[in-house]
Amino acid sequence: MTTLTKLTPKDTADRVKAGKAVLVDIRESDEYAREHILGAISLPLSALDRADLTLEAGQQAIFHCKSGMRTDSNCAALAGHVEGDAFMLEGGLDAWRATGLPTAKDAKAPLEINRQVQITAGGLILLGALLGTFIAPAWFGLSAFVGAGLMFAGISGWCGMASLLQAMPWNRRRPA
């Protein structure tokens, strides 16, 4: 398996500032919209096969995600999209932020879809458990239904709740 050489946030910032490297954010576009490293380009992992990553001569690509786990587990595919050496930001955006380096935040951007699914599913499961305990046992079915949906999403890779939440008005793209 191809690996990406890990760079500390400081080394990464130095290379980017010197123009030697380009930061490539592999998180999904909704995650990028909420917060990203200044100057990083967005290349979602889900669009990697359809994307063209062109760098200037002598430039290096430094890939990153939120914590480094996504980048680390997809390093072969990422390295295959660049000529020459490829790197990864060790610890991802979390480490960058912890080092005190700047990020661009948009508090008005909606929460990431995965977080919305977690909040909604958790709330429905808790509601089903409470209603089942205090109102009628039939309400436990709500928790079972949501749990089965989450299990289906994990097995199939398709989440109906995420699709539904993406269609909600607060997740629609606003005109520029």
Active site residues: 65
Sequence-ordered list of residues with C-beta below 8 angstroms from that of 27, at least 6 positions apart, any chain: 42, 44, 45, 65, 66, 70, 93
Nearest-10 Cα torsion for 82, 88, 92, 95: -150
Question: In the block, which residue shows the tokens 């205090």?
Answer: 134
Coarse DSSP helix, strand, coil percentages of the chain, rounded to the nearest 5 percent: 50, 15, 35
Helix or strand run (H / E) with residue 22: strand 21-25
Element containing residue 69 per DSSP (H, E) = helix 69-73
